[in-house]
Amino acid sequence: MTNIEKTSGGYIALISVMIIGAVLLLIIITGAHVGTTQGINSLLFSNHTESESLISACGEQALMNLKDNPSYGGNETVSLGNGECQILAVTSQGGEVRSIQVTSAVGGARKKNLITVSQINPKLLVSSWQEVAEF
């Protein structure tokens, strides 16, 4: 009769290498996903910040135009930097009270502000400036 010895040392090493490789692959994939997510979030934050700046500039422009011309009606587009903002309707609410609608868009970040002016002359008074979902 022949004695055959069985050894299993190679299988343990092979399985160990496969487990270590799987763990390293998981770490690499997780790191790539986190990096991509942070990049997207950074871009969205940047677009949001720029859109906020644009809408403020547009609102200020509308107020200056209204001060120079109390019958100013809006309906103009202002291009600044990488985006644009629009001064939509400037509507009279009676007397010197005006409602100004402004909007801005940079990338996917869109903003809408409604500005209410209670007096134009002798001094322009803003009674409300708020971000709204819809006009």
Residue 3 resides in a domain: no
Rounded Cα gap, residues 58 and 106, in angstroms = 13
For residue 123, being part of any structural domain is answered with yes
pLDDT digits (tens, 9 = 90+) for 26-70: 998 988 888 888 877 776 777 888 889 999 999 999 999 999 999
- Domains: count for the chain: 1
Q: Which two tokens stand for residue 80?
A: 């600044």
In a domain, 2, yes or no: no
CB 82 within 8 A of CB 28: no
User: How many angstroms from the chain centroid is the CA of residue 16?
Assistant: 47
59-85: per-residue pLDDT in tens?
999 999 999 999 999 999 998 876 789
> Residue 29: which domain range?
9-131
Rounded Cα–Cα distance for residues 133 and 14 (Å): 60
Close Cβ partners of 54 (under 8 Å, ≥ 6 residues apart): 80, 81, 83, 84, 85, 104, 106, 111
Q: Is residue 4 part of a domain?
A: no
